[in-house]
Structure 1
């Protein structure tokens, strides 16, 4: 009778669900040390600062491209010259479209700058987009037509058309357009083109049997199973046809 090569309690060598060898432990990938973490924090701060300054460019572009709302005065009140105009909505739409473009460009630039990403870089991207949008709103409102409509109407005179202040009506959506677009684009780029983490490797202590190693029936010594079939039991000749 031929002894089994692999006892019932031993897993198969090609079993993908087999348990790790006894006494082994997973070796994780290299963890960033304190110096690398500080470097990531500095890079995240630099990204936030650069995007905040870029908000000045966004504000100037908004001031240049946004449509103006024409007003007219009759010395008693100020009216919209075109009551059916959509210039006010156009100002919000222009800001949102510019903010989405800035979010796309900033996310791509941050990804190309550091493909591995990291929480500080993503936080700097979101914070910089938010602060840049707030700064752009302030720049456009400050350098645009004055917010003192009454004084502006008196200065322009009766029946003379003048521009209304440059304002945002949907403030929340306009301010969050840049950071949200940047986060979505950066997440997509990281998922598609970012580096993958290495698979954990099992480290087996010296002398421990490997998975799929069989034990002899009497001696208890480990030997590798033969690929060409079973070995005859002790005292028996080779099997005859």
Structure 2
């Protein structure tokens, strides 16, 4: 028969709720370190994050319809004229085509700022699914705005349009986006704004200093320290 194990003589029988009776007290304070807290899940969970990501992707992409309508309304027009045999640019030195691309890019930047801030205000945190959804939704929204603006604009059949208006009559060219890089203006602006707001105003991780036995406790009191 073996004798029951007993704590060492220098170890008090009561361990202040610590689960390990053989753990020695801290040599600086004479107190046992607090028991580690049970891990808690941070955030709403993967399934909820994926649902939110789908909502963000679809919602941001649909906003592209508004961008397409504004692009058609604000973009400059390229004037064309026909002599009954061919169609020509009325202003050969005009920069309307560059203005069309620039208008789309500027509108994309503005929509990126708005949607990035709106997604942050809706969910005041970051997360990979949310950021990816914002980027994908913004890119899809830009493509949808481009195609929607072209569809709403002047007809793509220039020859039939010239024949319809008649010889020497000025008419508008179809709306085109020549600089396809303008499609990236919206997602880039949205990501920069969202990540910036998350870094400035998003939730912070707990300071590890407050979790140590030597720092202040959550109630504002401090554990005694060695002189």
Bin of the TM-score, shorter chain as denominator length: 0.7 to 0.9
**Partner of residue 182, structure 2:** 174
2:131 is the counterpart of 1:119: no
1:24/1:203 contact within 8 Å kept: no
Displacement of 1:94:
0.7
**Which structure ranks higher in relative contact order (CA pairs < 8 Å, sequence separation ≥ 6)?**
1
**Partner of residue 6, structure 1:** none
Length-normalised TM-score, structure 2: 0.75
**Partner of residue 158, structure 1:** 167
Q: How does 1:5-16 map to 2 (within 5 A)?
A: none
Give distance in 2, aligned partners of 1:25 and 1:53.
Answer: 51
Displacement of 1:27:
6.3
2:194 is the counterpart of 1:186: yes
Displacement of 1:198:
1.3
Measured against aligned partners, the alpha-carbon deviations of 1:184-223 in whole angstroms (never above 9, x if no partner) come to 111111111111111347989xxxxx88xxxxxxxxxxxx
**Partner of residue 158, structure 2:** 149
Q: Specify every segment of 5 or more residues in structure 1 that has no aligned partner in the other structure, as ranges.
A: 1-10, 14-22, 205-209, 212-223, 228-241
Give distance in 2, aligned partners of 1:108 and 1:226.
Answer: 49
User: 1:28/1:100 Cα in 2 relative to 1: closer, same or farther (>3 Å)?
Assistant: farther
Q: How does 1:61-210 map to 2 (within 5 A)?
A: 61-171=70-180, 173-200=181-208
SS in 2 for 1:147: coil
Displacement of 1:114:
1.0
User: 1:114/1:82 Cα in 2 relative to 1: closer, same or farther (>3 Å)?
Assistant: same
Give distance in 2, aligned partners of 1:36 and 1:225.
Answer: 40
Give distance in 2, aligned partners of 1:196 and 1:50.
Answer: 27
User: 1:157/1:12 Cα in 2 relative to 1: closer, same or farther (>3 Å)?
Assistant: farther
1:24/1:202 contact within 8 Å kept: no
Query: What is the RMSD computed on CA atoms of the aligned residues?
Result: 2.9
Tell me the matched-pair count.
Answer: 190
Give distance in 1, aligned partners of 2:61 and 2:152.
Answer: 18
2:126/2:195 contact within 8 Å kept: no
Give distance in 1, aligned partners of 2:226 and 2:115.
Answer: 59
Displacement of 1:38:
1.0
**Partner of residue 18, structure 2:** none
Q: Specify every segment of 5 or more residues in structure 2 that has no aligned partner in the other structure, as ranges.
A: 1-25, 215-223
User: 1:202/1:113 Cα in 2 relative to 1: closer, same or farther (>3 Å)?
Assistant: closer
Give distance in 1, aligned partners of 2:67 and 2:225.
Answer: 70
